Structure 1
């Protein structure tokens, strides 16, 4: 049976990624969302962050400074994790993470 967990994260208004992404209208880069999803996967499964690879990712809606995000992670039988990222009433990203084989 698949396990699902939810993790809340508020985007820090002073996150260093905003410095160049984009002046005048800061948007969270997709790599920051992926990094956060991997950190939550590590918490959920106990697998170190370096042991995950991104299977796929879709970025559906821009995220700005200070937004509260909800990361929903669901484990699959193979050890992979499907994730979706929500902000209020919209999905902002989704994808999958796969543990790297040793």
Structure 2
């Protein structure tokens, strides 16, 4: 089962401040953060009794950035769950593929 969601990168996103003046592009870490959050939203909430989030750490086992993303772009994130807690992700802007890779949650994750 695949999950598809969208992400809008606002022109005033703080990551553009220094990345890069005159020709702003979205840093790869911002894209990866969006993928991690999207995958974790598909999992049941995990919170300890003291209210602190106990979401397990995840691993980005592969990531390729194929095309730069500029201010104001709307992206499509396609998530495809795999074996052993892995999720393949594909990020695109229209027909242009932006990034692809695999994220792995620990076996103890729901």
Q: Same fold (TM over 0.5)?
A: yes
- TM-score after normalising by structure 1: 0.90
Q: CA offset at residue 101 of structure 1?
A: 5.0
Which of 12, 23, 38 in structure 2 is aligned with 1:25? 23
Give the length in aligned residue pairs. 100
Q: CA offset at residue 52 of structure 1?
A: 1.4
Between Structure 1 and Structure 2, which shows a larger proportion of strand residues? 1
State the partner residue of 1:36: 34
State the partner residue of 1:76: 82
Partner SS, residue 78 of structure 1: helix
Gaps of 5+ in 1: none
Moved over 2 A (4+): 45-51
Gaps of 5+ in 2: 47-54
State the partner residue of 2:97: 91
Structure 1 residues 50, 31: CA separation in 2 closer, same or farther (over 3 Å shift)? farther
- Whole-Å separation in 2 of the counterparts to 1:64 and 1:23: 12
| Higher Rg of the two aligned structures | 2
- Whole-Å separation in 1 of the counterparts to 2:27 and 2:69: 8
